[in-house]
Chains A and B, each alone.
Chain A
């Protein structure tokens, strides 16, 4: 029943994409796909190892700034590492942190929102209290403090970010469940003797898929920016890994003469986040148009 509903809505969405032009959806999707291709194909595309140093060939300018080394199209950094290779591998970290964080945080937030919205009463009070406590914690500071304490393995970074970025999932899930709770198909399922768990997972959850996907894109962009900020401050991804935030931090003393070392990862980070946000906006328009039908 639920899967058939989900399938039908997917078909409707696909038909709509075909019918209308969705500039932000297409543009956002293209940017995200491009970065995903960079990340997946990094081992094939990268001309060098991202870690291989060559101190005799430090700070070679990229070709578009008058560089002459065809084997280093985007130049080399302060340790003579190929910048193109490092940028490609940086895409892996950005996307991995973004996806991993959102998978975890959506799980936490949706669970809290489902329970609060469905059971109401004191369960709901506890759920909303958790959201208020989370919001009163300063995001960047707490993330920095905990990562500084536990360590900066990628899994720890994702866990800490997920522990902080679940609030919007919880709030949206809760308010949607409050609306769904009294609808006929839920009442029918309850009358047919379905357990709460079954109702939550097979009747309510599929109806939340669309709005939660939109939240997931926003939070993924947030997670990517936060990882970059942590790495920039020296408490996130550790050298010699290639995180875009870390690359900007490593080059910050060279801002006067080699500003491209900062601007290349900056542009990539910015483009990826714009792409994800456009994708989210496009999805929201698509889904609200579907509801209007």
Chain B
């Protein structure tokens, strides 16, 4: 177990290093930082001073190490547009995106676990077909169009829900559905496949043979086993959703990290963009690492392979 944990952690660190190099590359590609920091009216002396002050005249690997060192202490630079530390900006917006991501995850799981179980009980039956059909349509609906359809129906025609902002929990309903709906098919498929496999297994046959009631067999024996891979999928999907909420945040004017990223890209404020890419990648790496370790703790076959 210790060997597995060590190896898995090493990979996570290497992935983070690679991601940090890519983020740094993004920042360097965005142009000369000294000129951007100095502003348009600044003289050449001032630009040269800034370049020297921030070490931008040194070789690239040295700059990277310098940048990495500052990043590790939580200093991700200063936003050109807001003129405030990037770390503060991102920390301020993160709760909104996390709330949205977690509620979307909850929505996707509550929607797809029952659907996956129902579909698995009668493979190729009509419920199965309808569920797979919903999954197919879910993956084909462009997120932004789904948002507008919901705005038209629930916001304008029925007037049930507010269509922009974060003032109340009701403001999160449509964004949650829009983000979670897209992740739901992945859960439905994995629960359905896990249930079909579990229902055909020996331990379920034994449970049935000793006369357990059908719902006890399905819920206590089969479902518990089918839910194990859901943990990994949940980690991956949450990571995807934190990065995928850009479109939804801009439509519903949720001022989270995604909205900030979109604004910053449009304003060429790349210190902020770089920090957001790095933050979300870190979340993904940590989440998948945690899921892998959890799975290895549950299932010895994983850590011994």
Q: Which residues of A contact B (CB under 8 A)?
A: 129, 132-133, 135-142, 144-146, 148-150, 221, 225, 228-229, 232-235, 245, 248, 252, 255-256, 259, 262-263, 266, 269-270, 273-274, 277-278, 281
**Chain A residues with CB below 8 A from B273, complex form:** 141, 145, 148
CB distance from A262 to the nearest CB of B (A): 5
Q: Is B156 in the interface zone, CB < 8 Å from A?
A: yes
Q: Is B250 in the interface zone, CB < 8 Å from A?
A: yes
CB distance from B20 to the nearest CB of A (A): 11
Q: Are A233 and B151 in contact (CB under 8 A)?
A: no
Q: Residue of B at shortest CB range from A269?
A: B142
Chain B: residues with Cβ within 8 Å of the partner, total of 48
Q: Are B247 and A270 in contact (CB under 8 A)?
A: no
A140 to B250, CA, bound (A): 13
Q: Are B144 and A148 in contact (CB under 8 A)?
A: no
Q: Are A274 and B140 in contact (CB under 8 A)?
A: yes
Q: Residue of B at shortest CB range from A235?
A: B265
Most chain A beta-carbon contacts within 10 A, residue among B22, B139, B142, B240: B142
A138 to B18, CA, bound (A): 14
CB distance from B285 to the nearest CB of A (A): 5
**Chain B residues with CB below 8 A from A252, complex form:** 148, 251
A232 to B144, CA, bound (A): 8
**Chain A residues with CB below 8 A from B250, complex form:** 233
Q: Are B242 and A138 in contact (CB under 8 A)?
A: yes
Known A-B contacts A145-B277, A245-B142; A256 and B30 likewise in contact (beta carbons under 8 Å): no
Q: Is B304 in the interface zone, CB < 8 Å from A?
A: no
Q: Are A135 and B276 in contact (CB under 8 A)?
A: no
CB distance from A227 to the nearest CB of B (A): 10
Known A-B contacts A229-B143, A245-B142; A133 and B262 likewise in contact (beta carbons under 8 Å): no
Q: Besides A129-B14, A233-B246, A248-B148, 9 other CB < 8 A contacts? A: A132-B15, A136-B15, A141-B273, A221-B140, A234-B266, A255-B152, A274-B136, A277-B139, A277-B140
Residue in contact with B243 in the complex, picked from A141, A150, A228, CB distance below 8 Å:
A141
A142 to B281, CA, bound (A): 10
Q: Are A270 and B11 in contact (CB under 8 A)?
A: no
CB distance from A184 to the nearest CB of B (A): 27
**DSSP class of B's interface residues: helix, strand, loop or mixed?**
helix
Residue in contact with A136 in the complex, picked from B141, B258, B284, CB distance below 8 Å:
B284
Known A-B contacts A138-B277, A248-B145; A144 and B15 likewise in contact (beta carbons under 8 Å): no
Q: Is B68 in the interface zone, CB < 8 Å from A?
A: no
CB distance from B178 to the nearest CB of A (A): 12
Known A-B contacts A140-B244, A144-B261, A278-B136; A270 and B141 likewise in contact (beta carbons under 8 Å): yes
**Chain B residues with CB below 8 A from A148, complex form:** 265-266, 268, 273
CB distance from B131 to the nearest CB of A (A): 14
Residue in contact with A229 in the complex, picked from B151, B239, B247, B266, CB distance below 8 Å:
B247
Q: Are A266 and B247 in contact (CB under 8 A)?
A: no
User: CB within 8 Å of A: which of B226-268?
Assistant: 236, 239-240, 242-244, 246-247, 250-251, 258, 261-262, 265-266, 268
Known A-B contacts A133-B15, A232-B247; A141 and B261 likewise in contact (beta carbons under 8 Å): yes
CB distance from B172 to the nearest CB of A (A): 20
Shortest 5 CB-CB contacts between residues of A and residues of B: A138-B243, A266-B145, A273-B140, A148-B265, A274-B140
Residue in contact with A266 in the complex, picked from B11, B18, B137, B142, CB distance below 8 Å:
B142
User: CB within 8 Å of A: which of B128-176?
Assistant: 136-137, 139-145, 148-149, 151-152, 156
Q: Is B29 in the interface zone, CB < 8 Å from A?
A: yes
**Chain B residues with CB below 8 A from A274, complex form:** 136-137, 140
**Chain B residues with CB below 8 A from A235, complex form:** 265-266
**Chain A residues with CB below 8 A from B270, complex form:** 145, 149
Known A-B contacts A140-B246, A144-B261, A232-B247; A270 and B22 likewise in contact (beta carbons under 8 Å): no
Known A-B contacts A140-B243, A281-B136; A229 and B265 likewise in contact (beta carbons under 8 Å): no
Most chain B beta-carbon contacts within 10 A, residue among A129, A135, A269: A135
